[in-house]
């Protein structure tokens, strides 16, 4: 297990002793999802946080008109979860789907709570994860409310530098909250400016 991304991620982000890391790893399971397979469907309860070892996930909702709204992508070294569903034991409002053949580590919320109680370094790590997630969500809300389509697109490229080659443009447009036609216009305008 020493050559896995998850092991590297944990050792570089948690200043704790090896026994805590081994305990965490021993309680995690690895699950593979085929491209197109759902990790979670709307109405189900989310039981895990997923760490992407290899592959790519998306989290999205579908509105009353059948339109998809992507709220997050999770490439390698990213976590994905429905915090409301996991923490409050509620049915999820979201879908989670593998966009590529994907390998994930499944982390149970109870394990996070148990390790947070017994190890201050893990508690700090978990708090950093939660606050980082909140920070990204707040920034995303502000962008959707006030940033131009071009600004959102440029921020998307900064946040997900390799995803343009891995996801369909319709998914990028959904994440940005614009139509695919608007995305095409933004890309053409940026190409024109950079000539």
The per-residue pLDDT for 147 is 95
Sign for the pseudo-dihedral over CA of 93, 136, 74, 159? positive
pLDDT classification of 1: cutoffs 50, 70, 90:
very low
The pTM (predicted TM-score) of the whole model is: 0.88
**Which residues have C-beta within 8 Å of that of residue 164, sequence separation ≥ 6?**
157, 172
pLDDT classification of 16: cutoffs 50, 70, 90:
low
pLDDT classification of 177: cutoffs 50, 70, 90:
very high
81, 49 in Cβ contact below 8 A? Answer: yes
C-alpha span between 43 and 123 (Å, rounded) = 30
Which tens digit of pLDDT belongs to each residue from 17-69? Answer: 677 777 777 888 899 999 999 999 999 999 999 999 999 999 999 999 999 99
């Amino acid at each position: 297990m020493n050559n896995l991304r998850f092991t590297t991620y944990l050792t570089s982000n948690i200043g704790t002793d090896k026994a805590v890391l081994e305990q965490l790893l021993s309680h995690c399971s690895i699950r593979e999802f085929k491209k197109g397979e759902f990790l979670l469907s709307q109405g189900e309860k989310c039981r895990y946080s997923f760490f992407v070892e290899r592959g790519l996930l998306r989290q999205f909702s579908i509105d009353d008109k059948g339109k998809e709204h992507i709220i997050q992508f999770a490439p390698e070294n990213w976590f994905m979860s429905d915090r409301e569903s996991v923490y409050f034991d509620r049915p999820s409002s979201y879908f989670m789907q593998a966009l590529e053949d994907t390998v994930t580590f499944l982390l149970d919320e109870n394990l996070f709570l148990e390790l947070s109680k017994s190890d201050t370094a893990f508690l700090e790590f978990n708090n950093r994860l939660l606050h980082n997630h909140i920070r990204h969500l707040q920034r995303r809300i502000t962008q959707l409310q006030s940033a131009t389509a071009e600004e959102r697109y440029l921020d998307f490229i900064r946040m997900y530098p390799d995803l343009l080659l891995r996801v369909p443009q319709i998914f990028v447009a959904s994440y940005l909250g614009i139509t695919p036609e608007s995305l095409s216009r933004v890309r053409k305008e940026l190409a024109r400016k950079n000539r």
